[in-house]
Structure 1
């Protein structure tokens, strides 16, 4: 499978001597499965706020990396990590107040009923655990996902991540449906597709354990206005399944409307998974449950994650909440997202290569199309790489690789939005 926006290793000879040598060393030491971004890979040596500084001293505007959602090396998060690391770091089989204080604070941000949390290190692990619990509590194995979903890289989560491509076969217990769309007809179609998937899982003997979706449908191209989700979830509940809301990309204020993406859809999930921005680069992730969902699993399964929920991870995660609240980043994501949306739409008026623009908070998508209006992944890749050369980092996504994916840190300012829009304008003009 060719990764969207991937570096072609056969072109390494055209790079500078240092980068070419590092790429050769990567291949020798790390093997063939890892990938690099961009036609000319980025070699950052420092991060600060919205900026990455490369080995040549050039600053690059990071408008893609939502792992560090409150900015690279945020001093408050760095200080919290260092302070806790200097005192204690151990596993969850000892009593420790750090995990309890953070858990209480995290759960307070979620709707009533979501009352217990378990910790992992990555979003993939979080979704893997959510699947185990869903299958345990329902006694069934089937899972419904969207057609180009991405939920992780463990064996269990990879088989329900169609975006990984045809080399990763979907599991026999997985059913993928087209993502929801806008309007009554699209909503009815989505609900109908989910009901058909439920019936197929029942007929095959697997039954339905859960429906799982990314609450911003990022890999499906970032879907903003969608209908039919409550009806589809209602059908899942009637069939005895649970709803897993994947907040790894949509959570922690990314939408600007609320801390959690599922609230946009009027949903009450049974399980919520989270990761990536949770520790602003420190590997921490979590799964939140309704007590009645986790109780049967906890009564019969001994679960342990060596590093999940360790004191340093919880200190980092607590510091991220401090920054989101203290710096007003929800409001900033909403305001800067509006400016970004307006700017992208103004560019789209001038350049018909942009077929559609979709924004939710500081997460934006712009579809690149050819003269016939068809998805043009090759043109999207050219735009991404020209912006990289001009000093602004974005990427591409979607089933055709034609959707520009813009996902900057939540601390983005007016000046940063203006620079991004100007660079995109120039890349399209080229």
Structure 2
């Protein structure tokens, strides 16, 4: 199997039997796009349409999407589609002209943040937002060192690939980067937040001794690439350690934000900390390419004294319309509360499977972001990546889409659209139960 940038073991390897039409598309894709792209599943799917929690392939088969948090309020939501179409028919231009839409959205999204975070800069992708956050952090601290988690993924630009261990650091770990272990709440004992803080203090000391100092701790607030660890407060000590050393805490909310974790709009709120910079992307426009970095105004004032940032498409009028419409849906449909309610039901149902399947070692999650750890023997907590890959592909054959994550590639990564209801949970859990029984035979 091919392991992708997130440690996933379910990427297409060429070994799965596919029909002639699929094989033709794969060959055409490889010829035109080259070998660096990855396809999901041993038998890739040709998707042609989406609606709500569903995706439809070229033959009309319907798939329940339990993985794609880009369209976090559902595929092709009519309110967002209409907002994009209406704005595209009137005006689409950059931020160097005056306009109300970018300011209206800025006021709304900043109102969801702590008072200290008062400025926003727009980009097109989460990678660009994280790239900008690093630029600001290094400029304002006059330091270069960065601390990230063990299998972090923060994007694909040169700068952020160098702080993304899941990409192999874009080559090899730079000397100005240090990693701290994933807060494995399944295997580690004791005060895990303090263990993370102690590692952070050690990383700070190493960076200072090497002459780099610490510019920032950049951390995904749900540890999605490290294995989905959702215990409250895990980041509190680590963030405080970096800020005490004069560095900044950058909260990467690309995956955990916009109500994904349930009761809060933002994942960092679960850790009881106030970041210096918050980055966001993917679900911000429900699939439209819009992202942003929100930060303390004094940081941006200092950055703006000697530097400038402009992004031709970042914050354009159509992107702002998409982002505003997405925020409308989140607020009007009460999606954080729905994620909290349906997510709790989801975890409860998955936990009942543990009594019937010894291969389920742990169920963890917050809102509608869940991790289900598969093991060879529950008592030994031995990761079983092979089983995880078989489950992902087996669920695909049952028309349910998930993926894997974690240091060992053995954690099922489950992050469905926030519009899921209990009926979708039941469909997922019943299918997983049936599949695990079949695989155990």
TM-score of the aligned structures, taking structure 1 as reference length: 0.97
1:148, 1:399 within 8 Å by CA — same for their partners in 2? Answer: yes
Matches of 2:313 and 2:273 in 1, distance apart? 31
Matches of 2:14 and 2:240 in 1, distance apart? 50
**Cα displacement (A) at 1:169:** 1.6
2:422 counterpart of 1:421: no
2:250, 2:277 within 8 Å by CA — same for their partners in 1? Answer: yes
1:184, 1:228 within 8 Å by CA — same for their partners in 2? Answer: no
2:31 counterpart of 1:57: no
1:216 to 204, 219, 222: 222
Query: In the alignment, which residue of structure 2 is the partner of 1:403?
Result: 411
Matches of 1:7 and 1:233 in 2, distance apart? 34
Matches of 2:213 and 2:398 in 1, distance apart? 51
2:161, 2:170 within 8 Å by CA — same for their partners in 1? Answer: no
**Cα displacement (A) at 1:159:** 1.2
Matches of 1:41 and 1:8 in 2, distance apart? 7
Matches of 2:11 and 2:69 in 1, distance apart? 21
Query: In the alignment, which residue of structure 2 is the partner of 1:346?
Result: 352
2:315 counterpart of 1:314: no
2:396 counterpart of 1:388: yes
TM-score of the aligned structures, taking structure 2 as reference length: 0.95
Matches of 1:250 and 1:139 in 2, distance apart? 29
2:201 counterpart of 1:195: yes
1:67 alignment partner, SS class = coil
Query: In the alignment, which residue of structure 2 is the partner of 1:24?
Result: 27
Matches for 1:90-239 after TM superposition, within 5 Å? 90-165=93-168, 168-180=171-183, 182=185, 184-225=190-231, 227=233, 229-239=235-245
- Once the two structures are superposed, residues 171-214 of structure 1 have per-residue CA deviations (whole angstroms, 9 ceiling, x without a partner) of 22110011335565322221111011000000111110011100
Matches of 2:247 and 2:170 in 1, distance apart? 29
1:5, 1:37 within 8 Å by CA — same for their partners in 2? Answer: no
Assess, with a 3 A threshold, how the Cα gap between structure 1 residues 166 and 130 changes in structure 2: closer, same or farther.
Answer: closer
Query: In the alignment, which residue of structure 1 is the partner of 2:3?
Result: 2
2:70 alignment partner, SS class = helix
Matches of 1:283 and 1:166 in 2, distance apart? 24
CA RMSD of aligned residues (A): 1.3
Assess, with a 3 A threshold, how the Cα gap between structure 1 residues 223 and 345 changes in structure 2: closer, same or farther.
Answer: same
1:180, 1:226 within 8 Å by CA — same for their partners in 2? Answer: no
Contiguous gaps of at least 5 residues in structure 2: none
Matches of 1:319 and 1:272 in 2, distance apart? 21
1:44, 1:55 within 8 Å by CA — same for their partners in 2? Answer: yes
**Cα displacement (A) at 1:166:** 7.2
Matches of 2:435 and 2:166 in 1, distance apart? 27
